[in-house]
Amino acid sequence: MAVASNDMTPQAPSPGHTNGVVKACDPWPEPYYLEGGFRRVKPYHYTYNTHCKERWRNRPLEEIFLSEFRDRTPDYYRKALDSGLVTVNGKPAGRDTVIKNGQVLSHTTHRHEPPVSSQPIGIIHEDDDLLVIDKPAGIPVHSAGRYHHNSVVEILQADREDGWIARPCNRLDRLTSGVMFIGKHPKGAEKMSNQLRARSVQKEYIARVKGKFPDGVVVCDQPIMQVSPKLGLNRVRATGKTATTKFRRIAYYPPEWEQPARPAADTTEQSSDGPVPRPATPPPALYNEAEGYSIVHCYPLTGRTHQIRVHLQFLGHPISNDPIYSNRRVFGPGLAANESHGDRDEEIMERLNKMGKTELPDTGSYRNHFTAAPNLPIPPFWRRSCLASSRLRRRNYEKRKGERLSGALCDVCGTELYSDPGVHELGIFLHAVSYADLEGDWHYRSGMPNWGLPPYGLDGPREVPDWVPAAEGEEVVIGHGTVPPEIGGDDEPEARGPSLRIRFCWRALAC
């Protein structure tokens, strides 16, 4: 049996062990069942096998497990080491066992996969070589962390049931929805992957961000650096990698108390009683859209991790339900707008580390916390209605708030169980809406996500418009740590790009 070379890669279980590779005893489970708006997997035994990494050499196992893996609690890993669930080259290992180069580390666990949205994976296009899908938010692409069967690859393969192997050509974060390419055979996957690597494909995204995004086209070419791979944290840094994104607002919708009243029959939150809806993408935190929200067309010219999310945060308009970059508990009330220094990195990482539970390293899953609302000019005649709506939304939020340890224990392994994830942990308002070949040979497009549609009684686009380049001189370039003074930067910013030709309001960019 081949041993995978990546961290804790799952191996197909069968009895016994050979050549030091332990194999779990349970057969593959019946993978899926639907319940409560989730796709679920029954718990099953599983053995992870991995070769010793260079950074693990000559270190005790307890130190490795506690520093490298945050899938379970420290107490769980200590008990696993004490009870023989961890082996090295097929022999029981303890806390003080030192692993050496060439050895195989195995860990047998009773696996409890987190549930994911039951929304089906949409098919945009299919031919002999390629499957183009519309990925729902909240489902990881590959098996990773606590997810295996509940991943795009495994779900597609289970649906086909003919031994077909899904070969992803591009990758979206777990929290992101939209267009993805799946090769139906090795040559088909290689052809599309080569196009993506050659940067001959243009991507477009739609995001819903807090506040009123400025008019016109804003170009952000702030460099981005990965601050903490373990926490999935990326920040704007002068020493980071080159990153450029163009943004254009396609709609702005005012705060809830300024919108037309929805008839009682049409609302889904008139009462905190009854079933809680489980949309594929969650509502924003209570106060993150207190000044309204914008639907923004995003046009990335590079492909850095979290590029769109980080650039929007820097511009003062983070994605309104982003559990990392729109989290006041982590970044403070200003949400790190126009912040390109590392003075607060340690503090920010400490907060994320305390608040988070690792799921996938590129996304994280952090609970939204209620913090003080910004001081906003709410008309007196709206105040009572606004407060009542706020209380109702908070009660509903408390009912569906995030996945957390429930206090109940598994009858089989004794592990403390998690509650179901809240809707705010199933995705963010970021959707890959379009991929197009720059030579014009193909163009695949998804629709406007539900969270991008106009609210009840308001006009707005129901389809994502084509990206139209701005006229010469009508782009504002915000790059390399400088922001033009018209939108809150220094009085004498470094000259970059054409002069400012459209009017901005710093209040809009800082909210």
CATH number at residue 122: 3.30.2350.10
Say if 441 falls within a structural domain.
yes
Of 177, 197, 217, which residue is a domain's last?
Answer: 197
Q: Are 249 and 213 in contact (CB under 8 A)?
A: yes
**What is the model's pLDDT at position 387?**
54
In the chain, helix, strand, coil percent, each to 5?
20, 25, 55
Q: Are residues 353 and 280 in the same domain?
A: yes
Most confident segment among 376-385, 392-401, 434-443: 434-443
Residue 375 has pLDDT above 60, yes or no: no
Residue 426 has pLDDT above 60, yes or no: yes
**What is the model's pLDDT at position 499?**
30
**What is the model's pLDDT at position 273?**
37
Biggest alpha carbon–alpha carbon distance for the chain: 75
Q: List residues bridging with 181 in a β-sheet.
A: 132
Say if 203 falls within a structural domain.
no
Catalytic-role residue among 173, 221, 362, 420: 173
pTM score of the predicted model: 0.75
**What is the model's pLDDT at position 194?**
94
**CA gyration radius, the chain:** 24
User: Distance (Å, rounded) from C-alpha 470 to C-alpha 303?
Assistant: 21
173 part of the active site: yes
Q: Are residues 281 and 364 in the same domain?
A: yes
pLDDT band at 270 (very low <50, low <70, confident <90, very high): very low
Mean pLDDT calculated for residue range 191-199: 92
Lowest mean pLDDT among 92-96, 233-237, 269-273: 269-273
pLDDT band at 10 (very low <50, low <70, confident <90, very high): very low
Residue 58 has pLDDT above 70, yes or no: yes
Residue 159 has pLDDT above 80, yes or no: yes
Please work out, in degrees rounded to the nearest 5, the angle formed at the alpha carbon of residue 455 by the alpha carbons of 36 and 264.
65
Half-sphere exposure of 462 (CA within 13 A, CB side): 4
Residues of the domain holding 103: 9-111
Residue 398 has pLDDT above 70, yes or no: no
Structure confidence by residue, pLDDT tens digits, 312-330: 999 999 999 998 999 988 9
CA distances from 386 to 81, 257, 261, 290, 294 (A): 54, 6, 12, 10, 20
Say if 216 falls within a structural domain.
yes
Say if 336 falls within a structural domain.
yes
Q: Are residues 190 and 212 in the same domain?
A: no
3-state secondary structure 358-399: CCCCCCCCECCCCCCCCCCCCCHHHHHHHHHHHHHHHHHHHH
Mean pLDDT calculated for residue range 341-349: 90
145: Cβ contacts below 8 Å, ≥ 6 apart: 71, 358, 359, 360, 361
| Domain tally, the chain | 3
**What is the model's pLDDT at position 271?**
35
**What is the model's pLDDT at position 480?**
54
Of 111, 128, 146, which residue is a domain's last?
Answer: 111
Mean pLDDT calculated for residue range 326-347: 90
CATH number at residue 91: 3.10.290.10
CA distances from 239 to 225, 227, 341, 342, 480 (A): 7, 11, 10, 11, 9
